[in-house]
Amino acid sequence: LTCCAFQLNAADPLPSWNESAAKQNIIQFVEKVTSKDSPDYVPPEHRIATFDNDGTLWTEKPQYFQVFFAIDRVKALAPQHPEWKTEEPFASILKGDYKTAFAGGEAAVLKLVVATHTGMTTTEFEKIVNEWSKTARHPKTGRLFTQMVYQPMLELLAYMRSKGFKTFIVSGGGIEFMRPWTERVYGIPPQQVVGSSVKTKFEMREDGPVLIRLPEINFIDDKAGKPVGINSHIGQRPIAAFGNSDGDIQMLEWATGASGARFALLVHHTDAKREYAYNVGAVQALKDASEKGWTVVNMKDDWKVIYPPLKK
Amino acid sequence: LTCCAFQLNAADPLPSWNESAAKQNIIQFVEKVTSKDSPDYVPPEHRIATFDNDGTLWTEKPQYFQVFFAIDRVKALAPQHPEWKTEEPFASILKGDYKTAFAGGEAAVLKLVVATHTGMTTTEFEKIVNEWSKTARHPKTGRLFTQMVYQPMLELLAYMRSKGFKTFIVSGGGIEFMRPWTERVYGIPPQQVVGSSVKTKFEMREDGPVLIRLPEINFIDDKAGKPVGINSHIGQRPIAAFGNSDGDIQMLEWATGASGARFALLVHHTDAKREYAYNVGAVQALKDASEKGWTVVNMKDDWKVIYPPLKK
Ligand SMILES: [Ca+2]
Ligand SMILES: [Ca+2]
C-alpha cells in the first residue's frame, strides 16, 4: 500500500524533472544556501521549507480530496441518520448530486464538515482517516488518493531534506485529515504539518483521557492565514515556499519578503492529458510570480512523470 | 552570555542527579523504550517528551519571569505613556507597588499583557525579548533569568535527545516570549515550543510583509489547554511529560493515559535554601502523583546542584 518510498539518487536528485529552468532554479537555490563558503549560506536550523498540499503535492481535481472523504463519510454514516434523506446538503450528496449539495455555499460546507469531521475523539478521527487513506480511490485514475501525489515533488522533498532542510506542509486542508498519512506518503511527521482545524476539548473518561473534536472552526490556514499558521507552528520564517494557487500568495510573500536568499515556486497545472489543466484560482498568483520572479513549474513541460510508479 | 551549554557525559548522563529513585526511574524508562529488544520499545519518531517551563525547567519565583519582563517593558515604555502615571495597573507598577498593581486580578494582567506584548510586529517582539533575555537579572540571585534554569533538567533534556527523543516545551507562558532563547538555553528550537499566544494578523507594508501582534488572546496553554496545545502543535501523544504544578495535571494524564510504556514526573520545590520551597499551586498534582505513580523530584534531596555553573 505504501506507494511512494524511493531512494534518493545522489547523481541526479530530481530525476523526474526535465532539464529546464525550474529544476535549475531549485538546485541553484539549494546549493547556494547550503554551501559553507557561499555568501548566502544558511545554517541548518534555519533551513525551513513550507509546502502547500492540494495542487502542490497531490492532485486537487475534480475536487479537493478531503471533499471526497467527507462524501464517503456521509455515505458511511447515513444509516445512523435517517433524517439526512431530506436534509441538505446530505440528501443531495446521497443522491450523488453534488452540484445541488454545494449550491448552499459555505453554510453547506460547514454543515458537512461538522457532520463528518467532529463529535468524535481525535484518536477515532485519526483511525477513520487512516483507513480511508488506505482504501479510497480517485474516480478518474483508480489510484488510491495517496498515490495521486506528484513524483517530482516527492523527489524535491527528499532532496531538500538530504540538504538539511526541514520540510513542512502548510495547507488549507484539515491538519488532522493530513497527519495520519503524511509521514508514510511524504516523509513529513505530524509535528511538521500545519493546516485548518476545529477546536478540541480535553475530557477525562472512565477509560482514560480524550480530546473531543468540537463543531467549531478553530483556524483557517489559507491566504493571509498561512503566515499566521507558519508563525504559530514553526516560529520562524521559511526561506523557501511552494504553492499552486492564490491561497498561497501570502505564504510566498512571507517566505521571500526578508533579507537573505529566498525561494518561491508555483506549480502551474498545464497538463490536461496526464493531470488537469486550469488557471482558475491561480490567476493572481501566476501574475505575482512573473512580477516577483517566483519560479513557475509548467507541469506539462517540466515534469517527466506526474505520479509515482505503482508497485506490482 | 550563553550560560548553559555542556557536554553530555556518556558514563553518567545525569551527573547533577543524586543516585535516588527519581534518577533510577528516568533511566529505567528511557532504557526500556529505547532498547531494541525491549517489549516496551518505541520507535524514535514516537519518542515525544513534553516539558512545562516555569518551575520545571527554570525558577518561577518570586513571580513568573514573564511578569518581570512585562514590568521592565512598562518602565521602558512609560516615557511614551504619560497617562500611565494615573492609570492602573501601570501607575502602581511604576511605583514598584506590585501588590496594588495586581489587585485588579485578571483584568489588570490582561491590560498589562496588551500594553507590553501586543501592537508590534512579531519580528519587533522577538528582538525585544531577545535583548531582555540577555540583560535582565533575577532580583535575588543577580543571575540572568536565562541562567536560572535547572542544571539537572538541562542534563535530562540532553540525555533524552541523545536517546532519540524529541523534546518539546509545553508552557502556560507566551510562546513568543520563549522562542527567542529556548534553542540557545535548552537546545529546543522554535518549532518545538508550545505556549499561550495572542492573535496575529498578516499585513503587507511598503517595506515588506509583517505579522502584527493583536490585543486579543488566541490560546491559553494551561491545564486542560495543554493536551489541546500538544495535539495542535505536535499531533501525537507524548510518552513522557514533565511538570511541577496543578497546571500540568492534564498534560501528565494525557501522556500517561494510553497503552505502552509511559512516564510522568513532577518537580517538587523543596529547597528553600538553594531555590524556593512551596506547595502552593501543586497540592492536587502532588496528590495525583502519589496515587498514579508519577515520579516526584524532591529538589533538595535529588539534585546535587540547582543552577549551571557561571562561566568566568
Ligand atoms: Ca493548493
Ligand atoms: Ca509550571
How many distinct structural domains can be found in chain A? 2
- Model confidence at B1: pLDDT above 70: no
Strands A193-205 and A208-219: antiparallel
Output the pLDDT for position A10. 74
Q: Which residues of A touch B45 (CB under 8 A)?
A: 183, 189
Q: State the average pLDDT over residues A45-73.
A: 98
Please check whether residue B4 lies inside any domain of the structure: no
The answer to whether B189 contacts A45, with C-beta atoms less than 8 Å apart, is yes
Q: What is the pLDDT of residue B46?
A: 97
**pLDDT one-digit tens code per residue, A290-310:** 999 999 999 999 999 999 999
A183 at interface of B, judged by CB pairs closer than 8 A: yes
Q: Are residues B86 and B170 in the same domain?
A: no
Whether residue A69 sits in one domain with residue A56: no
Q: What is the CATH number of the domain that holds A25?
A: 3.40.50.1000
Task: Flag whether pLDDT at B27 surpasses 90.
Answer: yes
- Residue A6: pLDDT over 60: no
Residue where a domain terminates, one of B133, B153, B173: B133
Asked whether residue A45 is domain-assigned, the answer is: yes
Of A35, A60, A55, give the one whose Cα is nearest residue A47. A35
Instruction: Look at residue B2 and tell me whether its pLDDT is greater than 50.
Output: no
Query: For B4-8, B48-52, B236-240, which range has the lowest pLDDT when averaged over its residues?
Result: B4-8
Residue % of chain B over a pLDDT of 70: 97
pLDDT at B293 over 80: yes
Cα(A165) to centroid(ligand 1), Å: 21
Q: Is residue B15 part of a domain?
A: no
Average per-residue pLDDT in chain B? 96
* Contact with chain B for residue A257, Cβ under 8 A: yes
Of B190, B204, B258, the CB nearest to A234: B190
- Are residues B51 and B160 both part of a single domain? yes
Residue A78 within a domain: yes
Query: How many A from CA of B119 to the centre of ligand 2?
Result: 27
Identify whether the C-beta of residue A305 lies closer than 8 Å to the C-beta of residue A152.
yes
CB of A166 within 8 Å of any CB in chain B?
yes
pLDDT tens digits for range A191-208: 999 999 999 999 999 999
Cβ distance A253 to A294 under 8 Å? Answer: no
Residue A104's pLDDT is what?
87
Q: Indicate if B239 and B111 belong to the same structural domain.
A: no
Nearest-5° Cα angle at B15, B11 to B16 = 170
Q: Is the ipTM of this complex over 0.90?
A: yes
Residue B37 lies in a domain: yes
Ligand having the closest approach to the CA of A59:
1
Residue A194 lies in a domain: yes
- Is residue A54 classed as helix, strand or coil in its secondary structure? strand
A73 and A52 in one domain? Answer: no
Answer yes or no: is pLDDT of A130 > 60.
yes
| Residue A312 pLDDT exceeds 90 | no
Question: Are residues A30 and A155 in contact, defined by beta-carbon separation less than 8 angstroms?
Answer: no
In a domain, A7, yes or no: no
Q: Are residues A213 and A150 in the same domain?
A: yes
Same domain? A187 vs A41: yes
Does the CB of B175 have a partner CB in chain A at under 8 Å?
yes
Q: Based on the fold, state whether residues A54 and A165 are members of the same structural domain.
A: yes
Residues A153 and A297 in one domain: yes
Half-sphere exposure of A108 (CA within 13 A, CB side): 17
Question: Do B42 and B155 lie in a common domain?
Answer: yes
Q: Residue A122: is its pLDDT beyond 50?
A: yes
Question: Which pLDDT belongs to residue A43?
Answer: 98
pLDDT at A234 over 90: yes
Asked if B96 reaches chain A (Cβ–Cβ under 8 Å), the answer is no
Which residue, B133, B156, B181, sits at the end of a domain?
B133
Region class of B112: left (phi > 0), else alpha (psi between -120 and 50), else beta? alpha
Give pLDDT, residue B312: 63
Domain extent at residue B97: 65-133
Could you tell me the pLDDT band of residue B3, with boundaries at 50, 70 and 90? very low
Q: Which of A120, A177, A211 to mutate to test the interface with B (most CBs of B within 10 A)?
A: A211
In this structure, of B9-18, B131-140, B234-243, the range with the lowest mean pLDDT score is B9-18
**Spatial distance between the Cα atoms of A275 and B213, rounded to a whole number of angstroms:** 41
Q: What is the pLDDT of residue A7?
A: 63
Best of B175, B207, B220, B232 to mutate (most A CBs within 10 Å, chain A): B232
Distance from CA of A48 to the nearest CA of B (A): 10
Q: Let me know whether B173 and B123 are in one domain.
A: no
Mean pLDDT of chain A, nearest integer: 96
Mean pLDDT of B210-216: 98
**Alpha-carbon distances, residue B204 vs A249, A250, B210 (angstroms):** 11, 9, 6
Average pLDDT over residues B165-185: 98
pLDDT for res A9: 75
Residue A265 in any domain: the answer is yes
Interface test with chain B among A232, A234, A291, A292, by most B beta carbons within 10 Å: A232
Minimal CA separation from B187 to chain A, in Å? 11
Query: Which of B102, B133, B164 is the C-terminal boundary of a domain?
Result: B133
- A52 and A81 fall within a common domain: no
How big is chain A by its Cα radius of gyration, in Å? 20
